[in-house]
Amino acid sequence: MTASATARRLSATPAAIAEAVAVLRAGGLVAFPTETVYGLGADATNERAVARLYAAKDRPRFNPLIAHVDSAEAAAAQGLLGRRARVLAEAFWPGPLTLVVPAARNCRVCELARAGLTTIGLRVPAHETARDLLLAFGGPVVAPSANRSGHVSPTTADHVIEDLGPAVDLVLDGGSTPLGIESTIVACLGGPGRLLRPGGIPRGEIERALEERVAPPDLRPAEALDGEGPLAPGQLASHYAPRARLRLLAREVHPGEALLAFGTADIAGAAGAVARRDLSAVGDPVEAAANLYAHLRALDATGVASIAVAPIPEEGLGEAINDRLRRAAAPR
């Protein structure tokens, strides 16, 4: 398929989902909501469709994609789920958890989607539209965030259209995504699990399910890890970035800056900020995660050169929020 002059947007009705399935089967690209962010979907078994997805996002081909499936049983057909992976799947699927496991011998997800790796990232999303789409399609769908690679992730259909426009054949509009931050990614490759990307399920919940500690993420960018590419999305040094520069752990607002506030922290000069958004006035990390990307986009749209970001505690979802902010603030 080729992209239309403008992206088609349809409310996520059964008829629209049936049309989306036809687009995917024809090798097209469909943006759809999950509980985390909007994904840009392509048939994971179709190398041409996957190549078109990489091109639409301007995504490096060494950065692997997550395959979305409709059940743990469907996941087990694509990857080898060992004991730890099965415990986590039972606890958190469907939901915002991605498991990186060895690819099954008969894995149908194409090599391009796996970036040539012998591993595969698998997720069973919980969002009703995503589940209906996957059930109707009947196969794995790769679905990275539906935005330009490295840019702020999309949490509404409008964000998708702003970023990708006619590169997408169809956008299923399911409203704002409820969680607003990407899935937690855990590698289960023998031995203790390893946290590759903090996300929608806090690390403590993963550890309680496994009844053991998981190795923390390596804070070095994937580009610096022994000359190898990333095992999963979200490991590149610069990611999730607005055009404006982010200044983290800010205790004051400089002249000409916008402010991304959190809780009741006393930020000197806040009244003089060019623009202000509050992630959560009451300091709730769940609310903050849901607002993060939309607020970054809104502040960036003001045209400011710099955004002061208030400190956010690392506890719970704060670890994932701070991971995104550090990568958004990294040199580009």
Of 224 and 201, the structure prediction assigns the larger pLDDT to 201
Work out whether the CA dihedral 141, 146, 149, 152 comes out positive or negative. negative
Average pLDDT over every residue of 293-317: 96
pLDDT over threshold 50, residue 95:
yes
Task: At 118, list the tokens.
Answer: 């012998």
Q: What pLDDT, on a 0 to 100 scale, did the predictor assign at position 217?
A: 78
pLDDT over threshold 70, residue 229:
no
3-state secondary structure 268-284: ECHHHCCCEEECCCCCC
Q: What pLDDT, on a 0 to 100 scale, did the predictor assign at position 241?
A: 78
Average pLDDT over every residue of 245-253: 96
pLDDT, tens digit, for every residue of 121-172? 999 999 999 999 999 999 999 999 999 988 899 999 999 999 999 999 999 9
Which residues on neighbouring strands pair with residue 142, listed in sequence order?
Answer: 42, 67
pLDDT over threshold 60, residue 92:
yes
DSSP secondary structure of 56-104: HHT--TTS--EEE-SSHHHHHHHB---HHHHHHHHHH-SSSEEEEEEBP
Question: What is the C-alpha to C-alpha distance for residues 41 and 181, in angstroms, rounded to an integer?
Answer: 17
- What phi-psi label fits residue 322: left (phi over 0), alpha (psi between -120 and 50 degrees) or beta? alpha
- What phi-psi label fits residue 318: left (phi over 0), alpha (psi between -120 and 50 degrees) or beta? alpha
- Whose structure tokens read 């081909």? 61
Helices (H) and strands (E) in the chain, counts: 9, 14
- What phi-psi label fits residue 85: left (phi over 0), alpha (psi between -120 and 50 degrees) or beta? alpha
pLDDT, tens digit, for every residue of 12-27? 999 999 999 999 999 9
Are 291 and 279 spatial neighbours (Cβ–Cβ below 8 Å)? yes
Q: What pLDDT, on a 0 to 100 scale, did the predictor assign at position 303?
A: 97
Dihedral (C-alpha) 43, 47, 48, 50: value to the nearest 10 degrees? 60
Would you tell me the crossing angle of helices 128-137 and 14-25 to the nearest 10 degrees? Answer: 50
pLDDT bin (cut points 50, 70, 90) of residue 3 is very low
